[in-house]
A and B are shown apart, each in its own frame.
Chain A
Amino acid sequence: MTQSLNSQVPSGPLETKWLNYRDHLKLVAPNNRRKFEILVVGSGLAGASAAATLGEAGYNVKCFCFQDSPRRAHSISAQGGINAAKNYRNDGDSTFRLFYDTIKGGDFRSREANVYRLAEVSNEIIDQAVAQGVPFAREYGGLLDNRSFGGAQVARTFYARGQTGQQLLLGAYQALSRQIAAGTVKMFPRTEMLDVVVDEGRARGIVTRDLVTGAVESHAGHAVVLATGGYSNVYYLSTNAMACNATAIWRAHRRGAMLANPCFTQIHPTCIPQSGENQSKLTLMSESLRNDGRIWVPTSADDTRAARDIPESDRDYYLERRYPSFGNLVPRDVASRNAKSVVDEGRGVGALKNGVYLDFADAIGRLGRDAIEEKYGNLFEMYERITGENPYGVPMRIYPAPHYTMGGLWVDYNMMSNVDGLFVIGEANFSDHGANRLGASALMQGLADGYFVLPYTLASYLAPHLGERVATDTEPFRKTEAEVSGLIRGFLDSKGKRTVDSFHRELGHIVRDECGMSRSEPGLKKALEKIPALREEFHENLNLSGGDGLNLSLERAGRVADFFELAELMCIDALDRRESCGGHFREESQTQEGEAKRDDENFTHVSAWEYTGNLSEPKLHKEALDFEAVQLTQRSYK
């Protein structure tokens, strides 16, 4: 091994690890903080909360986002809510229970100490957000309301109508705006990071491109923080915003940062099915709909009748049939896989036979239309707007869609990658969700990292570097900048025939088919032949118009080029992990009833991949996962 992975998890009992560790971290005195330059890439929940907090502390921060305003980062789209162990409902919740549900939901493929810390700081997040004026739902007494969410038996989810993500992001954005006004944070909107500058094993800065003028620039810092989100858009169609991309983490990977568990992706069960080939994204319908909707498909693949004309006897409520105790409320991965299997059998519904019914007829009959409208009115309206169908009259059609990526850059307990000085927070890292993320925990993790973890661990990293000069006039900066410019020039000089999107669509098809809800050795091997071949064609036959100023095709070309490389690593990782766990279902590893079967003996580890210069032969490093506080159990929802 050229590099070893040290998780830096402190010793001591789980309950006091973080507090004790915090007590012994190094500090930077208030009057010295302004002597440090910190680069934060991304302005979603993780990036904005980190940049604001570091600015408040007195550091010099530069924050970068490709959107026109930090308020638009994709965290804004989160609907459901944010978990915290407040136990306001007096229903027995605790830090331990939140920790346990999260680690179990992740199918025991995450680091115990990280997950416990996440649960531990969850309450502070709610306090902070409320103090900022985040308009969480309240009860008549004026206190905060909670609701329950998948994978938990307590009501611990705080929510803000169907837009918890927007409200939390606006809280962080407002805190960030305050620091921009105070001059501690300098904001660079419409600016995309295209590379990390690594010198002698340490991150020294980044190279960016101004998306309006096209100018390629370098920024130096004492530390670089990546908060650039997930990579679901590798599938082309996903619930992610159009410009979400993997470029920052992939460029960091190529500079030495290891990428952990890239095959751990989450396919969300309740999304609106694709309506045609020109579709650009998939829209999530809140998971809460499964509380009242019944999922079914026709018993026979040849049934062409309209939904309402199909009698009960010819319907298959397959989740209720297969999982009598959880029924329509099985976890996300189980619901998704089952939908795929009935659609693969040819029993899908809709013109393209690519969905399953989510039927509210019984609920409307039982509770009345008004009750359903009060609960889900805005979702029904959204559904109608997109599909043109009225879900009060005909059942909704839903199908799973790529939604979240648990994999990401490997980080230690301090949120630092294996590259010195390169920190990774939020969805961009791999750390807290294992093989499957529970609902309402993405917002929690982004804000935990940015508000309450990174500011401590980063200070401790910076302390010994006081007084060090940072500058962009060094050879590594010049070299990296030249490489970035060369890459851009290469795209602009393309004289091929196919558009960026046509390549992205085809790549998405391959990854969706072979590394989506269900993976097998033959399928993955097929993908591993197709991806490099298509990538080669992409570099030879790309048609790109426009110049080196504002050029949206050029932006997409760079992102798709990186998706091509990441896709191959995802498949390599999926092939290597010959077990089923969480969202990763290997067909070779299932129980007799066709359920996911974990292999704890051989796969209780994090797979961290090192870039070797050869995309097809990355080097695997394993971080063993040790469990002190929990017992590994096989999940069962029968």
Chain B
Amino acid sequence: MKLTLQVWRQERADAPGSLQTYVVDDISPDESFLEMLDVLNERLEEKGERPIAFDHDCREGICGACSMMVNGQAHGPRTRTTTCQLHMREFDDGDVILIEPWRATAFPVIQDLMVDRFAFDRIIQAGGYISVNTGSAPEANLMMVPKDDADLAFDGATCIGCGACVAQCPNTAAQLYTAAKIGHLNLYPQGQPERDERTVGMVEQMESELFGSCSNFRECEAVCPKGISIDWIARMNRDYLKAKLKGVNRR
């Protein structure tokens, strides 16, 4: 396959960026999208040029590191698929492919396609846990969890923290991420004692970051590689409202 790539290049966070065009040939349809970029990078290195920086690690769709807009779609054209699991057979010989970093003020570009997603970590630090010190846990089966609740909680817990939801949202809202994280813990009996404070802490941390607000475009759920539903956002909003009506404030 021969492809024309238009790739966002930006040296540093505070440097201006631009789209650069590269032509890559001899690409096999069995290669993954990131392997195609590896090939391009190796050729750039051979010419003494700086390779394209992008985040990636496990390359099996679970670590959540890879993060790029492919033809305007977070993680590219295949549903429920991270960029690392996208393969070149999804494209045609001769295609022009536009590759950009996540576009969100809350995720500033570090270099090229690599962005800073620490805002997600800060949301977790604001309450995305159950406070249980090591060694103080009771016997595991003392806590019974109805299977339906456990299965539902899992659907939220399956989030890989990649940020596609934010990148695709016209408002760059982080509601889906935050809601999935809150929802998982709020469904568990273990999560009840801190339920209100967790919800308020995480929502207000989210709001204090540079994310936008949710206006139900549903783009997030369409691109989520784990297929997380926006139902979680409704749950979060309900939990948040209940907590605020009780007068709960952020710790």
Q: Which of A141, A283, A388 contacts B29 (CB 8 A)?
A: A388
Is A167 in contact with chain B by the CB < 8 A criterion?
A: yes
* Residues in A whose Cβ lies below 8 Å from that of B128: 174, 177
Q: Is the CB of A499 within 8 A of B137?
A: no
Instruction: Knowing A130-B140, A177-B129, A553-B51, say if A160 contacts B118 (CB, 8 Å).
Output: no
Is B72 in contact with chain A by the CB < 8 A criterion?
A: no
Q: Which 3 A-B pairs have the closest CB atoms?
A: A142-B144, A131-B137, A174-B129
Q: Is the CB of A143 within 8 A of B144?
A: yes
Q: Is the CB of B153 within 8 A of A124?
A: no
A544 and B46 CA atoms in complex are apart in Å by 9
Taking residues whose C-beta sits less than 8 angstroms from the other chain, chain A's interface range is: 35 or more
Instruction: Knowing A132-B132, A142-B144, A241-B57, say if A278 contacts B35 (CB, 8 Å).
Output: yes
B 150-208 contacts with A by CB, 8 A: 150, 153-154, 157-158, 160-161, 184-185, 188, 190-191
B 128-156 contacts with A by CB, 8 A: 128-141, 143-147, 150, 153-154
Q: Is the CB of A133 within 8 A of B51?
A: no
* Residues in B whose Cβ lies below 8 Å from that of A451: 134-135
Q: Is the CB of A545 within 8 A of B59?
A: no
Instruction: Knowing A275-B30, A275-B31, say if A53 contacts B63 (CB, 8 Å).
Output: no
Instruction: Knowing A130-B143, A177-B121, say if A160 contacts B60 (CB, 8 Å).
Output: no
Q: Is the CB of A387 within 8 A of B30?
A: yes
Q: Is the CB of B190 within 8 A of A130?
A: yes
* Residues in B whose Cβ lies below 8 Å from that of A500: 45
Is A467 in contact with chain B by the CB < 8 A criterion?
A: no
Q: Is the CB of B42 within 8 A of A67?
A: no
Instruction: Mark B112-128 against chain A: 1 for CB-CB distance below 8 A, else 0.
Output: 00101110110011101
Instruction: Knowing A127-B138, A386-B87, say if A74 contacts B58 (CB, 8 Å).
Output: yes
Is B62 in contact with chain A by the CB < 8 A criterion?
A: yes
Instruction: Knowing A130-B190, A550-B110, say if A278 contacts B38 (CB, 8 Å).
Output: yes
Q: Is the CB of A276 within 8 A of B31?
A: yes
Q: Is the CB of A135 within 8 A of B144?
A: no
A126 and B53 CA atoms in complex are apart in Å by 39
Is B56 in contact with chain A by the CB < 8 A criterion?
A: yes
Nearest CB of B to A78, in Å: 9
Closest A-chain residue to B38, C-beta based? A280
Is A144 in contact with chain B by the CB < 8 A criterion?
A: yes
Instruction: Mark A116-143 against chain B: 1 for CB-CB distance below 8 A, else 0.
Output: 0000000110111111110111111111
Q: Is the CB of B134 within 8 A of A550?
A: no
Is B229 in contact with chain A by the CB < 8 A criterion?
A: no
* Residues in B whose Cβ lies below 8 Å from that of A170: 157
Q: Which of A166, A280, A452 contacts B59 (CB 8 A)?
A: A280
Q: Which of B45, B55, B116 contacts A543 (CB 8 A)?
A: B45
Q: Which of A74, A131, A167, A187 contacts B63 (CB 8 A)?
A: A74
Instruction: Mark B76-101 against chain A: 1 for CB-CB distance below 8 A, else 0.
Output: 00100100010101000000000000
A545 and B164 CA atoms in complex are apart in Å by 31
Is A561 in contact with chain B by the CB < 8 A criterion?
A: no
Q: Is the CB of A126 within 8 A of B140?
A: yes
Q: Is the CB of B121 within 8 A of A69?
A: yes
Nearest CB of A to B143, in Å: 6
Instruction: Knowing A167-B157, A552-B51, say if A189 contacts B89 (CB, 8 Å).
Output: no
A142 and B140 CA atoms in complex are apart in Å by 11
Instruction: Knowing A56-B134, A280-B34, say if A72 contacts B64 (CB, 8 Å).
Output: yes
Instruction: Knowing A133-B185, A141-B144, A170-B157, say if A546 contacts B50 (CB, 8 Å).
Output: yes
Is B73 in contact with chain A by the CB < 8 A criterion?
A: no
* Residues in B whose Cβ lies below 8 Å from that of A382: 60-61, 85
Q: A residues near B, CB below 8 A?
A: 49, 52-53, 56, 67-72, 74, 76-77, 86, 88, 123-124, 126-133, 135-144, 160-161, 163, 165-167, 170, 173-175, 177-178, 180-181, 187, 189, 212, 241-243, 275-276, 278-281, 283-284, 382, 385-388, 451-452, 455, 499-502, 543-546, 549-550, 552-553
Instruction: Knowing A174-B130, A276-B31, A280-B34, say if A241 contacts B63 (CB, 8 Å).
Output: yes
* Residues in A whose Cβ lies below 8 Å from that of B184: 133, 135
* Residues in A whose Cβ lies below 8 Å from that of B30: 275-276, 387-388
* Residues in B whose Cβ lies below 8 Å from that of A129: 140
Instruction: Knowing A67-B57, A74-B57, A212-B110, say if A545 contacts B45 (CB, 8 Å).
Output: yes
Q: Is the CB of B137 within 8 A of A68?
A: no
Q: Is the CB of B129 within 8 A of A175?
A: yes
Nearest CB of B to A130, in Å: 4
Q: Which of B29, B42, B59, B125 contacts A501 (CB 8 A)?
A: B42
Nearest CB of A to B69, in Å: 17
Q: Could you jot down 20 A-B contacts, CB within 8 Å? A: A52-B134, A71-B161, A124-B135, A126-B140, A130-B190, A131-B140, A132-B190, A135-B153, A138-B145, A138-B150, A161-B154, A276-B28, A280-B32, A280-B59, A501-B38, A543-B48, A545-B51, A549-B12, A550-B114, A552-B53
A71 and B147 CA atoms in complex are apart in Å by 26
Q: Is the CB of B144 within 8 A of A385?
A: no
Instruction: Knowing A279-B31, A550-B111, A552-B53, say if A77 contacts B63 (CB, 8 Å).
Output: yes
* Residues in B whose Cβ lies below 8 Å from that of A128: 132, 134-135, 137
Instruction: Mark B32-46 against chain A: 1 for CB-CB distance below 8 A, else 0.
Output: 101100110010111
Instruction: Knowing A77-B63, A553-B51, say if A143 contacts B110 (CB, 8 Å).
Output: no
A130 and B143 CA atoms in complex are apart in Å by 8
A501 and B38 CA atoms in complex are apart in Å by 10
Nearest CB of B to A435, in Å: 27
